[in-house]
Amino acid sequence: GREKEISIISDSFCRVATTGVCEALLIRGWSGCGKSSLVATTFEPIRVAGGYVVSRKFEEISSVNPVWTVMAAFNDLCILIKERNSDEELLEIQDELIRVFGINLPKLVRILPNAKDIFSTQASTLHLYRKVDSELTFKGLCFAIQCFMSVISAKSRPIMIFLDDLQWADNMA
């Protein structure tokens, strides 16, 4: 009975994978009506099609800042990138991250600790651990994630990020 909704999600993913243009879907409905289950049915077909799926859930009662739930999704993505790409592909990603972030690469590793795992060679990681003196503002955090995603996402690496129970997030998240 949910074929139409599954098709909408799948079609959106296919458009992103073929055009490289980002899309966002918001799925709404009453509590317990199966929104999360509906989206979860698309995870495996998306993975089989070469997509990357990351899922995180906001909690109603949590001591964790909701922004860090979003950051945890991107941090999980780093693990997928490491696991699903060849050494040659990782080297290309690594070189592009170094080009985009330059001396600010340690800031990326500070907000996404798993990003260090994308770096395979000893020589390239030397400047990952350079001391970072400045505080990262919310704007800086958003900009770093934008830059990260501009490198990581591609037609060959379409990404689906599912953030569940968004009503428990604050405006910043």
Given this model, what pLDDT does residue 104 score? 84
- Residues 84-112 have a mean pLDDT of 90
Alpha-carbon separation of residue 52 from 8, 65, 102, 155 (angstroms) = 18, 25, 26, 11
Task: Give the model's confidence band at 31: pLDDT under 50 very low, under 70 low, under 90 confident, else very high.
Answer: confident
Share of the chain above pLDDT 70, in %: 90
Query: What pLDDT does residue 123 have?
Result: 43
pTM: 0.86
Q: Beta strand pairing status for 159-164 and 52-57?
A: parallel
Mapping DSSP to helix (H, G, I), strand (E, B) and coil, where does residue 106 land? helix
Q: What is the pLDDT of residue 128?
A: 57
Mean pLDDT of 108-124: 79
Averaged over 138-163, what is the pLDDT? 91
Of residues 27 and 127, which shows the higher confidence score? 27
Q: Are 94 and 109 in contact (CB under 8 A)?
A: no
| pLDDT number for residue 106 | 85
